[in-house]
Each structure stands twice: as C-alpha cells, then as structure tokens.
C-alpha cells in the first residue's frame, strides 16, 4: 500500500481577495492564518535593498501589528490580483494617516510565494511619493 500523496491547496484570486479583506479589517489572527510557520516578509522600507526581512510567523505578525499601530487607519483599495501556480501578485492603493499625523496615499504591490496553499514569502513595494 502506498502513502497518500499530499495535494497542495490551490491558490486563487479569491485567496488574495480574502487576504485583502483581513488586512482592511486589521484582523491579525485572520491574516496570519494565510501564512506558513517559516514564512518571510520583505517590507517596503528598511536598511537593505529588500527593505527589512522578517522571518517566521511570530516576526511577521509583530511587523504587521507595528504597521497597524503606526498607521491606525491603513486601508488597501483599488486592488487587483493575479495568480500563476504558486505565485501571486496584489496591486493596491494604500491610504491612511500615520500616528504622527502624516497622510499616506501611494500605489503599491505585494509579490506572494505560496507553499501548500500558505504564504511562504510576502515581498512588498510602495511607490515613493514626494514633491
């Protein structure tokens, strides 16, 4: 008798739309359900060309919690999503007001890598908006 074959969970545009709903609700528990235990998140800003790299579910959760604290009303709108196999792209308009009172309005995208239906890597980009 052979062992059952593990079938990866398919990633769809609906998966990314559900994830966007969780982000806009600032629901960390719901967001983290999408992430694999050994996930990573390359933030849009940081000391390296890739921003700052958060590794592991705990570090990613802490980084996202900090985002919701630093931009308490952050929202992602005008979103579009694509999926090809285990890769996905989400394009969006981020808006909000920082805890310092500065307004944010920028286009951005997330590049997603999935493993067995869970996020293995999130790589985030924001347009730099300036005068």
Q: What is the CATH number of the domain that holds 105?
A: 3.10.450.50
* Global confidence as pTM: 0.89
Is residue 24 situated within a structural domain? Answer: yes
Find out whether 65 and 74 touch, Cβ atoms under 8 Å: no
Total domains, the chain: 1
Q: Give pLDDT, residue 3.
A: 52
Is residue 8 situated within a structural domain? Answer: no
Is residue 96 situated within a structural domain? Answer: yes
Q: Give pLDDT, residue 85.
A: 92
Q: Give pLDDT, residue 4.
A: 44
Is residue 100 situated within a structural domain? Answer: yes
Is residue 58 situated within a structural domain? Answer: yes
State the Cα–Cα distance between residues 80 and 74, nearest whole angstrom. Answer: 18
Going by their DSSP bridges, the two strands 35-42 and 118-126 should be labelled as parallel
Nearest to 23 by CA among 85, 96, 82, 83: 96
State the Cα–Cα distance between residues 9 and 106, nearest whole angstrom. Answer: 32
Is residue 6 situated within a structural domain? Answer: no
Is residue 80 situated within a structural domain? Answer: yes
- Reported as a single tens digit per residue, the pLDDT across 4-58 is 444 457 899 999 999 999 999 999 999 999 999 999 999 999 999 999 999 999 9
Q: What is the average pLDDT score of the chain? A: 92
Range of the structural domain that residue 23 is part of: 13-126
Check pLDDT > 90 for residue 1.
no
pLDDT-based confidence at 128, cuts 50/70/90? confident
Is residue 3 situated within a structural domain? Answer: no
- Reported as a single tens digit per residue, the pLDDT across 45-76 is 999 999 999 999 999 999 999 999 999 999 99
């Amino acid at each position: 008798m052979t062992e059952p074959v593990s079938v990866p969970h398919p990633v769809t545009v609906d998966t990314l739309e559900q994830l966007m709903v969780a982000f806009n609700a600032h629901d960390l528990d719901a967001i983290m359900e999408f992430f694999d235990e050994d996930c990573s998140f390359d933030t849009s800003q940081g000391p390296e060309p890739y921003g700052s790299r958060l590794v592991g579910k705990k570090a990613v959760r802490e980084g996202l919690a900090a985002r919701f604290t630093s931009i308490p009303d952050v929202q992602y709108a005008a979103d579009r999503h694509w999926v090809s196999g285990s890769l996905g792209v989400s394009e969006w308009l981020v808006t909000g007001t920082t805890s310092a009172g500065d307004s944010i309005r920028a286009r951005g995208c997330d590049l997603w890598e999935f493993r067995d239906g869970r996020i293995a890597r999130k790589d985030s980009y924001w347009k730099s908006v300036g005068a």
